[in-house]
Amino acid sequence: MGTLNELTQTTPIAILAETLGYSPQTLEAHARASATTYARYLATRLD
């Protein structure tokens, strides 16, 4: 799901939901998950 995570970071959720046929709630969950994962990655890189 790497591509979906990237898309949720660069494209408005409402547009993605309509275009891809996903529910906005599903895409919001992907956006939150990818942000958390990326934040965790940055934290380990900066230590």
The tens digit of pLDDT for each residue in 1-47 reads 578 878 887 888 899 999 999 999 998 888 888 776 666 767 777 76
9 within some domain: no
Structural domain range at position 34: 22-47
Residue 44 CA to residue 31 CA, distance in Å, equals 20
Q: Is the separation of the CB atoms in 31 and 8 below 8 Å?
A: yes
Q: Where are the beta strands (DSSP E) in 1-47?
A: none
6 within some domain: no
17 within some domain: no
| Unique residue bearing structure tokens 């898309």 | 7
40 within some domain: yes
Residue 19 CA to residue 37 CA, distance in Å, equals 25
Q: How many domains does the chain have?
A: 1
SS3 31: helix
Which amino acid would we find at residue 14? A
